[in-house]
Amino acid sequence: MKRAEELLEVIPKMNTFRKFGRVVRVVGLMIESQGPESSVGDVCHIHLNNGGQSGSTILAEVVGFREEIVILMPYTNITDISSGCLVECTGKPLEVKVGMNLIGKVLDSLGHPIDDSPLPKGLSTVRTEQNPPNVLTRKPIDEKLAVGVKAIDGMLTVGSGQRVGIFAGSGVGKSTLLGMIARNTTADLNVIGLIGERGREVLEFIKRDLGPEGLSRTIVVAATSDQPALMRIKGAFTATAIAEYFRDKGMNVMLMMDSVTRVAMAQREIGLAVGEPPATRGYTPSVFSILPRLLERTGTNEVGAITAFYTVLVDGDDMNEPIADAVRGILDGHIVLDRTLANKGQYPAINVLKSVSRLMNHIASPEHVKAAEKLREMYYTYNKSEDLINIGAYKRGTSREIDEAIEFEPHITNFLKQSYKGNVSMDDTIEELISLAPGGDVR
Could you list the pLDDT tens digit for every one of the 443 residues in the chain?
556 666 566 555 555 567 788 999 988 778 999 988 889 989 999 998 754 455 688 899 998 888 889 999 988 877 778 888 899 998 899 999 999 999 999 999 999 999 888 888 889 999 999 999 998 989 999 899 999 999 999 999 999 999 999 998 888 888 889 888 988 888 999 999 999 888 788 888 888 888 888 888 899 999 998 898 999 999 999 999 999 999 999 999 999 998 899 999 999 998 888 888 888 778 899 999 999 999 999 999 999 999 999 999 887 666 778 899 999 999 999 999 998 888 888 889 999 999 999 999 999 999 999 999 999 999 998 888 877 777 777 778 788 888 888 888 888 999 999 988 878 899 999 999 998 876 554 43
pLDDT of residue 439: 59
Q: What angle do CA 357, 360, 362 make, to 5 degrees?
A: 135
* β partners of residue 144: 159
**Region of residue 48 (left: phi > 0; alpha: psi -120 to 50; beta: else):** beta
DSSP E strand boundaries for 153-271: 163-168, 189-197, 218-224, 252-258
The three-class DSSP label of residue 212 is helix
- What's the one-letter identity of residue 97? K
User: Residue 247: in which H helix or E strand, if any?
Assistant: helix 229-248
Among candidates 142, 146, 152, 97, which has minimal Cα distance to 119?
A: 97
Do the Cβ atoms of 74 and 31 come closer than 8 Å?
A: yes
Dmax over CA atoms of the chain, in Å, equals 96
CA distances in angstroms from 177 to 150, 162, 261, listed in the order given = 12, 17, 17
Give the contacts of 17 (CB within 8 A, at least 6 positions apart).
Answer: none
**Full-model pTM:** 0.89
166-193 as b/e, with b when 16 or more CB fall inside 10 Å? bbbbeebbbbbbbbbbbbbbebbbbbbb
- What domains, with CATH codes, occur in the chain? 19-93 (2.40.10.170), 97-364 (3.40.50.12240), 367-436 (1.20.1270.330)
Radius of gyration for the chain, computed over Cα atoms and rounded to the nearest angstrom: 25
103/221 Cα distance (integer angstroms) = 11
